[in-house]
Structure 1
Amino acid sequence: MMFDLAARYPTFPSALIACAPTGIPENPSVRVQFLRLLLDLPRERLGLLLPGLRAYTRCGPRRMYRLARDQEAHMTGPLLGRVEVPTLLLDGLADPVVQSWTLWEIHEAIPHTVIRQIPGATHAMADSFPCTVAQYTLDFLNLMER
């Protein structure tokens, strides 16, 4: 996960951009994460369903479970507070997977964060709102150059 990388190796990234980062800091159980993902599926573009299912199948249930469990321990403790690079947090307001309060918790833990909310955006916001995500990303990166 990028937050883990930025906390452990602070010289590697110069900035972070997180589109609906899952499991942080709420760290829901694997069951809750799965249920939230199921709630999100009907909200996503139909053309995203087959590639998504192929990716999940290729990953396999065992690895998906291990990754989801890893999130429980992944960002506990002071790790988020050790992230020192500017961070853009993108919040899809129609996303049942990642709750808006989660991004505000991250915002409180990481010193230099900017939150941008996208009304109507689901968990796959880069697919459903690509121009908005791209514009917020460019605006953020341009701000970092100053």
Structure 2
Amino acid sequence: MADLEWNEAYGIGVPELDADLRRLHDLYCAIRASLEGGGVSTDLRAVCGELIDTARAHFAREERLMEVCDYPDRAAHAKLHQSFLEQVEDVWTFVRDDGARDDYMARFLVLGFIGKWLKMHIMVVDQKFGEFLALRGHAGGRA
């Protein structure tokens, strides 16, 4: 997944939500850099904690906007959010409880998980919401 580079088109056109998405991408890049070497050190426990905090805050903001805009797929979208949080909590438990702070396999696991989610959720599911916002004339929605 070394080819997963941030592109502003991945945002949905809502600055606060797009900043969250960019931060999630940056966390992915930090773990990727630590796996690729070059003397980069990343505290995996800190990254996982920030990932959970950032995702929860992002999901809450996004779901509030979905409610306000009466997004027809909001229930399904919210279920995807809940599934992600459950999965990331499992990863967090592994990293926290198994002493995997600097373990290569733990980094690889977290990297794969975040990369898969970035590609599937942000680049597909969130884009659908961005298109909905644009069609509804919501300020900032992607056209």
The structure richer in helix per residue is: 2
If asked which structure has higher relative contact order (CA below 8 Å, sep 6+), I would say: 2
The structure richer in strand per residue is: 1
TM-score (norm 2): 0.33
TM-score (norm 1): 0.33
